[in-house]
Amino acid sequence: MSPRRSAAEALRTRDRIIDRSVDLASLEGLEGLTIGRLASDLGLSKSGLLGHFGTKEALQIAALRRAAEIFNAEIWAPAEPAAPGLPRLRAVCAAWISYLEREVFPGGCLFVSATFEYDGRAGAVHALMKRQFHAWDGRLTAEIRAAVRAGDLPADTDPAQLVFELYGVMMSLNHTIQLNGDRSAAVRARRAIDRLLAG
Amino acid sequence: MSPRRSAAEALRTRDRIIDRSVDLASLEGLEGLTIGRLASDLGLSKSGLLGHFGTKEALQIAALRRAAEIFNAEIWAPAEPAAPGLPRLRAVCAAWISYLEREVFPGGCLFVSATFEYDGRAGAVHALMKRQFHAWDGRLTAEIRAAVRAGDLPADTDPAQLVFELYGVMMSLNHTIQLNGDRSAAVRARRAIDRLLAG
DNA sequence: ATAGCGACCGAACGATCGGTCGGTATAGCG
DNA sequence: CGCTATACCGACCGATCGTTCGGTCGCTAT
């Protein structure tokens, strides 16, 4: 049926596969993502699709990387113009809540579901996820420290403690939106963040 | 090989199946729980095992119910003797943190993973989970209201807001323990709770 | 003593899983 | 133009999924 595509078109095909993988994985989980379903959704054969990645694990990793790019574009990039420290921290949290509220991923934040799906299992997916969370920990911690230096947060602030609580708010928001379909929980998240970041 | 067991032994068999299901589901997810794996773990045939429940969905529901019993026994029962309101609320949170710290379920709180696994899907499992969360919401809300009436929490406390933030702390704790194996995060959870419940 | 219930087994079902293989047709390069 | 690299397909693999079926055998009630 479909003959060979040009290199440029092949890249677009690969792109479409990853995009659809991210959406499907957010709905069904990274493990529930199946090659057959994905192929039929995109009008490809399983073998043609898998040719782009080799293994399912490689596809999962590609999806996770793409999700990280989207996350960065949604949360960190908009906050970039803000001044380091508390202003940027506030911008990050606002973008984060908005990202959950708008359901950028149809089944909720892919990292939240993936971390609870893969926290126990070993393997490349687990390792990559751990690295990604660690990177975000680092970025958040850096901003918190800057805010403390600037006097915008109390001097005795424990960055790890604050990061821990920030994650909690975001996970609870993701949970409420996805389980109960209650997007208005975003106002509760904003209130919680306001209290956490009050100087 | 194994002949028929008496009715009492059959109940014990059913019990063993459910117990093992809860553990497996906390590690692999309610969907990753497979009949074949479960049967071979317990030295049963797939058909003999499934005969107790009929369908996989019924087994998942039995596992979820059992998990709820354990959760109640771990979190609510120990807090029962405490006075209604803030004392009981503190007891509940302490037991909750301890339950996560001790990893009562080997793969972390089954409800946390299950809610992120099933929040999108329709079906009996989703419905049951939603009901269970709703029940806990109600219990927590009742204690919070009692604490407000007793003057142990500020009069302008929004119970739904507090429940939202309590869930966040527990989810973040579960995440940290399971992804990073860092049980010491329990001290961060206790600090966060102390601040949330400070009069 | 015996009939029947039911817990359990072993074999098999169709479906689907991730993955392999050989072939085909074209795009890009010489 | 011809050559090669490769994007893709269709057929197929063994394994495993949840589920069904017929049969066996011990417990229990008569």
Count CA within 13 A, CB hemisphere, residue A193: 25
CA–C1' distance A5–D10 (Å)?
A: 18
The total number of structural domains in chain B stands at 1
Cβ neighbours of residue A123 under 8 Å, at least 6 residues apart? Answer: A57
Checking each nucleotide's C1' against the CA of A10, the nearest proves to be D7
**Residue A124, amino acid:** A
In this model, does residue B39 exceed pLDDT 70?
yes
In this model, does residue B3 exceed pLDDT 90?
no
Interior angle at CA B119, CA A101 and CA B40, nearest 5: 150
Cβ neighbours of residue A25 under 8 Å, at least 6 residues apart? Answer: A32, A33, A60, A63, A67, A107, A110, A114
pLDDT in tens, B97-106: 999 999 999 9
Closest CA to B188 of A129, A135, B102, B177: B177
DSSP state of B6: P
Mutate to test the interface with B, among A172, A180, A182, A190 (most CBs of B within 10 A): A172
CA distance to partner chain B, nearest, from residue A126 (Å): 9
Helix (H, G, I), strand (E, B) or coil at B4: coil
Identify the pLDDT of residue A2.
55
Cβ contacts (< 8 Å) between B31 and chain A: which residues? 29, 31-32
From A104-108, A141-145, B3-7, B78-82, the region with the lowest mean pLDDT: B3-7
CA–C1' distance B42–C1 (Å)?
A: 37
pLDDT in tens, B107-127: 999 999 999 999 989 999 999
What are φ and ψ of residue A16, in 5° steps? -60, -40
For all residues of chain A together, what is the average pLDDT? Answer: 95
Mutate to test the interface with A, among B27, B97, B116 (most CBs of A within 10 A): B116
DSSP state of A6: P
Contact (CB<8Å) B119/A108: yes
Residue of A nearest to B134 (CA): A180
Identify the pLDDT of residue B29.
95
pLDDT in tens, B183-194: 999 999 999 999
Interior angle at CA A174, CA B72 and CA A23, nearest 5: 125
Cβ contacts (< 8 Å) between B196 and chain A: which residues? none
Token pair for B173: 């704790």
Asked if B161 is an interface residue toward chain A (Cβ–Cβ < 8 A), one would say yes
In this model, does residue A153 exceed pLDDT 80?
yes
CA–C1' distance B96–D5 (Å)?
A: 60
Residue of B nearest to A172 (CA): B168
Token pair for A57: 């694990």
In this model, does residue A3 exceed pLDDT 70?
no
Helix (H, G, I), strand (E, B) or coil at A95: helix
In this model, does residue A78 exceed pLDDT 70?
yes
In this prediction, residue B6 has a pLDDT band, given cuts at 50, 70 and 90, of low
For residue B119, what are the domain limits?
Answer: 3-196
In this model, does residue B128 exceed pLDDT 50?
yes
Cβ contacts (< 8 Å) between B112 and chain A: which residues? 116
Question: To the nearest 10°, the Cα dihedral for B136, B137, B138, B142?
Answer: 100
For all residues of chain B together, what is the average pLDDT? Answer: 94
Residues 106-135 of B with CB under 8 A from A: 107-108, 112-113, 115-117, 119-120, 129-130, 133
Asked if A176 is an interface residue toward chain B (Cβ–Cβ < 8 A), one would say yes
CATH number where B175 lies: 1.10.357.10
CA–CA gap between residue B181 and residue B190 (Å, rounded):
17
Identify the pLDDT of residue B11.
78
Using the Cα atoms of residue A3, residue A10, residue A114 and residue A94 in order, give the sign of their dihedral: negative
In this model, does residue B7 exceed pLDDT 90?
no
CA–CA gap between residue A52 and residue A35 (Å, rounded):
12
Residue of B nearest to A187 (CA): B161
